[in-house]
Amino acid sequence: MNRHTDTPAGTELLDLPMPEPRTCPFGPAPVYDRLRAEAPVTRVACPTGLTAWLVSRYADVRDVLGDAERFSSRPGQVVHLMAHADPERPIGEGEFTRMDGPEYQRFRRHMGPEISSPRRLAKLRPLVRAVVDERIGALAAAGPPADLYQDFAIPVTTASIGGLVGVPYADRDLFHTAASGVFSDVTDQVQLAAAVRPLQGYLFELVRRRRVEPEDDALSRMVARAPSAEPPFSDVELVAMSAVMLVAGFDSTATALAHGVLALLNDPGQWARLRDDPSLVPGTVEEMVRLFGGGAGIVREATVDTEIGGRPVAKGDYVILAIQSANHDPEAFPDPGRLDVARDTEGHLGFGHGTHQCFGQQTARLELTVALEALVRRVPSLRLAAPLADVPFKTGTSVVGPERVPVTWDEILPAEGEGP
């Protein structure tokens, strides 16, 4: 018996992750359509041993994310998929993603302006543009075919977040290795520490150096402001803040870009529309994040006896918000599985919602917009070099998306200001 289709809805403990294969690689597993309709708040067993409520409807997911009083972030974001992350472990010094209330706001207030103020974004834009142009130039020099994920998206987002925080591109392996440990489903504590410690040691040194010789980067500014926080930030906390930005900031954005361009190229009519009207790029970026963001889901813990969508939930219960399923809820977005470059995406949850919503969303929007604008302008003949069915998807990571995006083209046009 296929327990995911034959069982009366809501009466059985389902297993996460939901079964593959998918008929379409762009959306949540097909079973979510039935769950939204019949069992929108249902019990699931996670590969990490956690048992939780899985919430799949847009309205319920938004309700939970928007109420940090009833639902705490304490367990950790993707603790349902990462074997190394025990939801009951003590919160580490500076581990703000698991904090609530004023304790959490102390961090958010300090980091927010350094990442997402209009002034900072305006300064970041030329850096991102230069990296994008340089990478497209490298594609032109090497000639087709290429892997748009590894050869373009990863270097662009790595250089952008490194530039923002203040970590040179040459040192990128440190945060790439840390991220592959943090987001993996197989790493035990020893392996995790081995993946993360070199980055922490490096950042400690960098914090000390920037205190003496500040530069024009987010780390220097956070170090300079640290004594004015209440209480002042310790070096451990400064290291934790910069590590999270680096680790959370590059593959999430690279994967959203790779996934989004894959979907666009798989629907040549949409690609042509964008190419003919680049003013649609910012809206397309939102649509890409609506379709693919938050694929792994996010965990919360009920702080009181409560209910979600009419289903009683007890204090201490874990809750998994299936963000991608919410963004594919036809009640919120008509014909939700279709990529539509002109869609009204207002209110999508791809960057989360409420108190803990993505810190880096403006940075991600900037990177995705600059990258997509440059691709449609300079590589108008961009197309897939392999059938969609042959595109491999990543496994063993909570950053859900394609492992490679094989592309080809006829011609690459010069960057703005470059000769023909």
What does the binding site for ligand HEM look like in residue numbers (CB under 6 A)?
Answer: 73, 77, 97, 115, 161, 244-245, 248-249, 252-253, 256, 289, 293-294, 298, 323, 350-352, 356-360, 363-364
Q: By beta-carbon distance, which residue lies closest to ligand HEM?
A: 360
Shortest spacing between CB 94 and ligand HEM, in angstroms: 12
Q: Which residue has the tokens 């367990």?
A: 75
Query: Cis omega before residue 17 (within 30°)?
Result: yes
Closest CB to ligand HEM among 27 and 352? 352
Shortest spacing between CB 349 and ligand HEM, in angstroms: 7
Closest CB to ligand HEM among 270 and 363? 363
Shortest spacing between CB 352 and ligand HEM, in angstroms: 3
Closest CB to ligand HEM among 12 and 67? 67
**Cα angle 58, 75, 352; round to 5:** 30
- H or E element that contains 301: strand 298-302
Shortest spacing between CB 142 and ligand HEM, in angstroms: 26
Q: Tell me if 160 sits within 8 A of 124, measured CB to CB.
A: yes
State the helix-helix crossing angle for 172-182 and 235-249, rounded to 10 degrees: 80
DSSP string, 105-156: HHHHHHHHHHHH-HHHHHHHHHHHHHHHHHHHHHHHHH-S-EEIIIIIIHHH
Helix (H, G, I), strand (E, B) or coil at 50: coil
Shortest spacing between CB 374 and ligand HEM, in angstroms: 17
Closest CB to ligand HEM among 94 and 350? 350
Closest CB to ligand HEM among 97 and 303? 97
Shortest spacing between CB 323 and ligand HEM, in angstroms: 6
Closest CB to ligand HEM among 264 and 358? 358
Q: Tell me if 294 sits within 8 A of 324, measured CB to CB.
A: yes
Closest CB to ligand HEM among 48 and 97? 97
What is the radius of gyration, based on Cα positions, of the chain? Answer: 21
List b or e across 254-288, with b for residues whose CB sees 16 or more CB atoms inside 10 angstroms: bbbbbbbbbbbbbbeebbebbbeeeebbebbbbbb
Q: Which two three-digit tokens encode residue 76?
A: 């950790």
Q: What sign does the CA torsion over 40, 45, 46, 52 have?
A: positive
Q: Which two three-digit tokens encode residue 3?
A: 């327990």
Shortest spacing between CB 18 and ligand HEM, in angstroms: 19
Closest CB to ligand HEM among 181 and 350? 350
Shortest spacing between CB 265 and ligand HEM, in angstroms: 18
User: Cβ of 359: how many Cβ atoms within 10 Å?
Assistant: 24
User: Cβ of 231: how many Cβ atoms within 10 Å?
Assistant: 8
Shortest spacing between CB 220 and ligand HEM, in angstroms: 16
Closest CB to ligand HEM among 366 and 415? 366
List b or e across 126-162, with b for residues whose CB sees 16 or more CB atoms inside 10 angstroms: ebbbebbbebbeebbeeebebbbbebbbbbbbbbbbb
